[in-house]
Structure 1
């Protein structure tokens, strides 16, 4: 599948989707406290996305392997849950970490970003996991420049994560984003033997390291959505949608 290059006008439209996502994240962070259920957070996110005239990208998204349509507006994954956690009546507890993945669709384009939040008083190791995961994204996008190759981003992410004693999930990767939530190219968060496509101005990429304390290996629960670590140790997730420019990459899913 070909990589779709976006015009400046299209990227401006994607900034609007990105702003909806970024501000939804701010709202979730405000309400994500011990005692709150993930279903309550999902409702808060859904209401805000709708108030902006946008559609939650994940609601009704068709899953693989017969999973059916995703039932939540956002993905909320606790502790050993890596991604695609389904909102439920489960209450957040002091010491949990919560990965929040949000997509919004407006004006014909998607924005996509994830954050991992520390709930109450978390352990030093868990806080380090969250911080390293976030920083690995920023290490990766140092390579996200026109003329570089895609997998230079991948190698930079893995090198940073491994240097801090954590592991990178290999079964799930980043992706292009635009009119479709998932477009070419796939973006591994680990070093691969090839260089990958050359980065061009107008490429829009969702770069999303998923980092585990223990093994990188994961499995899918019986709900056919929730991905968990095989060893039950915690996982963190950080993602932004970025645009390749003729200079530094532009992050579309942060509040400016």
Structure 2
């Protein structure tokens, strides 16, 4: 069921969005060569406990997951792009890292992801990250009253296709509210003018993610981590936004922290 939020409810969602933004900015700043993925998860867990938030991941067990996730943050490295289950791995120079984080604060959820390179970057990795970020900007720009879900999807796809990338639509954006994943599904490819009409009060997590040379995924032995089928690298950018009569509001915006 698609739910629309009142202006007061959207205001009530801001603390969750701000906290998610702060955690991702902090963890990104603290992640360097030698940082262990389990330490990233532990630090995220500490920050959750400190503010009394609730993890959306630790007990999460959808049909596509082999078991409850068991951690509080997704850490995807290089050819992993989604649902990366933290494990005993020390980040190496040049690794492409994606952190995806969602929590509930006072019963309201926010969800966001950021990709970045640790240490010496490859030009192609920076270009892929930039493409996901530009696709996210385009998606947010299309998230206005009077448009439809297909307009958001088409905006994402236009950026990806402009860079010669193919698109997987199995996983994409989604509604956000009291739960992490709700209706509607927002695929990263679609036709403008199609799908659910965008109305004020709709809150969505928009999340372009792309792989460098494929749109096919394989699941790791951990039952969660999704990697590219051909070993090429992936990047993922995500924000939780609210559609209002005055335009989209980015609830997980990190710019107030002086970072993107």
Q: What is aligned with 1:196?
A: 195
Post-superposition Cα deviations, 1:153-191, rounded to whole Å, max 9, x if no partner, equal 100101111101223222211100000111100000012
Distance in 1, matches of 2:138 and 2:96, equals 22
Kept in 2, the 8 Å contact 1:63–1:70? The answer is: no
Deviation at 1:8, TM superposition (A): 1.3
User: What pairs up with 1:207-246 in 2 under 5 angstroms?
Assistant: 207-246=206-245
Instruction: Find the counterpart in structure 2 of residue 123 from structure 1.
Output: 122
Q: How does 1:10-159 map to 2 (within 5 A)?
A: 10-65=9-64, 67-159=66-158
Could you list the structure 1 runs, at least 4 aligned residues long, displaced by more than 6 angstroms after superposition: none
Q: Is this contact kept in 2: 1:171–1:218, CA < 8 A?
A: no
Please say if residues 97 and 117 of structure 1, whose CA atoms lie closer than 8 Å, have aligned partners that are also in contact: yes
Q: Distance in 2 between matches of 1:44 and 1:169?
A: 31
Aligned-pair CA distance for 1:51: 1.1
* Pair 249,65 (structure 1): closer, same or farther in 2 beyond 3 Å: closer
Cα offsets for 1:115-174 (capped at 9, x unmatched): 001111111011100111111100111111001111101001011111012232222111
Distance in 2, Cα, partners of 1:81 & 1:174:
18
3-state SS of paired residue (2:29): helix
How many angstroms does 1:104 deviate by? Answer: 1.1
Q: CA deviation at 1:247?
A: 2.1
TM-score normalised to structure 1 length: 0.96
Task: Summarize the Cα distance change of 1:34–1:176 in structure 2 as closer, same or farther, 3 Å threshold.
Answer: same
Q: What displacement does 1:65 show?
A: 4.4
Q: 1:236 to 1:66 in 2, by over 3 A?
A: closer
Separation in 2, partners of 1:9, 1:137: 26
**Whole-angstrom distance in 1 between the partners of 2:164 and 2:27:** 29
Distance in 2 of aligned mates of 1:225 and 1:120: 26
Tell whether the 8 Å contact from 2:99 to 2:115 is kept in structure 1 after alignment: yes
* Structure 1 residue 254, shift from structure 2 partner: 1.4
SS of match in other structure, 2:81: strand
The answer for the alignment partner of 2:172 in structure 1 is: 173
What is the aligned-residue RMSD (CA, Å)? Answer: 1.3
What are structure 2's unaligned runs of at least 5 residues?
A: none
Runs (5+) with no aligned partner, structure 1: none
